[in-house]
Structure 1
Amino acid sequence: MQALQAIQNEILELVARGEPLRALAERLCRLVEAHDPSVVCSVLSVDDERRLRPVAAPSLSPRFSASVDGVPIGPKAGSCGTAAFLGREVVIEDIATDPLWEGFAHLALEAGVVACWSRPIRGSDEKVLGTFALYYRERRGPSPADRAIIERCTHLCSIAMEHDLLIARNRRLALADQLTGLPNRTAFEEDLAAMTGRGPCRTGLLLVDVDGLKIVNDTLGHASGDALVATVAAALSELEGGTRVYRIGGDEFALLRPDGASPQALRALSSAIFRRLRALPQNATALGAPSVTIGGAIDSEMCKLRRKADLALYHAKASRRGSYLLFKEGMRTAIGSRLDAIREVGAALAEERMTTYFQPIVSLADGRIFAMEALARMRREDGSVVTAGAFQPALDDAAIACAITDATLARVAATIRAWDDAGVVAPKIGVNVTAFDLARGGLDRRLARACDKAGIAHHRISVEITENAVLRAGDRAVRTTLAALKRRGVRIALDDFGTGFASLTHLLDLPVDVIKIDRAFVSRMRTDARARTIVEALLSISRGLSLNLIAEGIETEAQAQDLRRMGCPFGQGFLFGRAEAPEIAMELYRRLGRRDADAAQRTSAEATARRMSAA
């Protein structure tokens, strides 16, 4: 008994130290066999499919253990398989002749054992977890001493197996995403680390970003956002071809192709993802059928693989949201430039070096300034002021783009207030907004906050959107945002009209008040009959829909004369004035209340000369 107590103490100490089940079971078998050299021990587990799995049998041949692996438990499955199936001990005194060992007897005899006593190992809920068996080298049944051994050992195995199951369960939870059931970021990183030592096999990786999740969470609640993620996860889980799918972030999934991936295979996989999502019903989520953006990479070095896929996804989200891009070396330079621009604009915002200039919009009939457009400018640390083209890459960052919009709204509202206080009743001023402003929701509240702080009516600021911004933000989000703005009396201008891919559809679907013909048509209409025809058609459409129309990019008097003859009511361009700082723009508006276009041009030149001489 003292020997058995010593065995028990050692095994319990190993359990407490977290020793793996196989090592612990093997140690138990060896201790028992050292205590009684006439017996040979084995420990088997029963898996979820009710099959036997070897855990430890250090004195039996590997061939014997391998023959047991995967055998279904049943009424005639040897001593252990039958004991596990019946839930009670099974004693076989002659393996060679017992029908329970039919088909297995030769394996035991080759291993030098002729009799076996097996007892089920039960958990605290009485479920059979496995078996503990004593094999004998002579035909006999268990002795009283054997009964003491097997009683103690099955209890110890029960403790060890339940502990192992608890560890395995906790590990599964630690490696699984609770919402989708997919392996999580930890599992993904562990699998990448395990692949590092596999040799030079090229592995493919796709990073899949769910478009619009933040909008859904912010506007419809996290339950709707969770439903969107779960829908995408279900679609990805159904992909074939040995792809491993992980959820590695709130809106991001990773798909690994471990075996010899090629660009063609990754493109085919991304196409399958897009097809599967497009096939979902339009009411599949709060945003309709889900949309994703995918970045891909191939490499044999796992650390490089992840960085490349990140860069590809980053580039895809910035330039081609809703599409797939495979990593190319040139992306490093493009993204490096973008990050530099983001840092520069971020610093300018923090240091209040972002400013706003104003360009006049005039009546072509008499040159009167009808309205103005606010244009963002950045004052660099050296004092120079640059246009948005100099920091355009930063505008592909949602946080930066929205911060610039908020700063512009605040400055425009303050400018209108200042002009009013100076006795110059400011005209309506248009503010350009981005796809991110349209998609995130709440633009009407942001505009209202800026106006309320300055003490001006909300309708004195108009909003200008481009067709490309509409396409990027998504029709549903745009309609919701514009409807909220219209309820506040805000006028909507569709800018750069004709450069998108669904111009006429947008006139039907969106509550716009103004069309701004893109400068590309204006610049070519005197030399290209097709461009002229398009301008004439747009004028006819605007009249039919009772919309105001503004021609952009007017640089010559000849262009202005042509547009007047066509009946175009309003124009904008360098002919009438460049964008100016607020104080110059105010003076321009003060002096050009009812002047003709030539006067507007002269006054703009005078203002420019004053600014240059002051500099």
Structure 2
Amino acid sequence: MIGKRQERIAGIAERLRAGQWPQSLALVGAAGLATHWFGLAALILAVPLAFLALALSDRRQTPPLTDEAARSAPMQQAIAESLGAARQGGARTACLLLQIDDFDRLTDRHGLATADRVILQSLERLARALRPADQLFDLGSGRLGVLLAPMPGLTLGPLLALAERLRVALTDPIPFDAATLHISTSLGLCLDAQAPARTAPALYDACLAALHEAQHHGPSAIRAYGRGMAAPTPLPRALAEEVTTALQDGRLITWFQPQICTDTGQITGFEALARWQHPTAGLIAPAEFLPLLAASGRMEVLGDAMLGNALRALQTWDHLGLDIPRVGLNLSPEELRNPTLPEKFAWELDRCDLAADRLVIEVLESVVATSADDVITRNIAALARMGCPIDLDDYGTGHASIATIRRFAVQRLKIDRSYVTAIDRDPDQQRMVGAILSMADRLGLATLAEGVETAGEHAMLAQLGCAHVQGFGIARPMPLEATPDWIAAHRAKLGPMPRIARAKG
């Protein structure tokens, strides 16, 4: 059913490109009936779905993400027209921006065809929740725009309620091969009356600022524009040179995210994560700058800085008597190809007077699955012999075999977030994670679930027998100086806890 509907809408897109509007609208009506939109409802939804198909047809011509003005030009033009109509009719309008969380990662992992399917499904679901006169825009890279047609008496309350309906509409699982995909969406919105000025650029930028704020509090966050919010500063074109300078100047910093035991709630470690504090663009996530460092051959330099910061964090916690068992450090393929890597780690651990078992080495499953018997294999084996625990990161995405897991002396599987999302509501997710946990138990491996965002996900993972969790539902990454207060607050909340029986088999 899904495949046939996609074929229909792909055909609509072709006709729209050819200017065949009457045939396109007729096909849209048919597609609506095929998805159980009966009678008049199918015709009413024809216009939003036509925009949906047109947006999909233009996806490959969308300008790059960094060129915000070019990407948003069609939507800004529509905003200008909507503002003009609202003024004449004494009505209000509003725009909303939705960003599918981790969309680049989804595309890299599952391919462009699956990413297109996600966009198509998302636009279709949004169209169902909107009025026929409202407009939808595909802004590229997993960002979707909604422009509400002018209406009398539109206020923030109903707008927020609509935003929540749109967000929830995108949480339903999306069929993907024999399984399902779960996505989450960050959403920013602005009512025209709340924008700094009643102009298209001002309203769009205000909405973008709200989205930027939501992403900082996401995933799945909703934020309305408020005074004091600022649109994110576009990253400069000479970013590759800037990130190299930032690395040299120490502006690539290390933040730490806690990991806790599902049985006791006790802190079992932290993961060290790289962040870039840009002077004008603010805090930049790794997805923005790590590819630039990799392309310029600077990943090892960053790795050295991260290693030093991770070991200093352990020393700091020890000095404060905080009893943090270990810290996890991600190693890139570039670092793992350095034949002197084990000696460097041994020297740094000895210099800091720290036992090797307190430094967890996190290696992507995709790296392990594709590495032959080469320097990477020997380095991981040498670190394991040294006493460093080996975590297999993003497990479930890289097709590592059991033999590979044994060959690399893996001690713990970090279950990827894609298997964790909505696990408390989706039986398929529960079965998948249950199978991973059963295999891990039989192989004598520990487990940690990444990307835990809700209490329900946390509780279900505990019931299934996952020993450790981390994610925004536990705590966001934080600078080292913020960790002592968080540790104290977390431990103060812990009381006598009932032990949750683990599922076996």
So what's the TM-score if we normalise by structure 2? Answer: 0.49
So what's the TM-score if we normalise by structure 1? Answer: 0.40
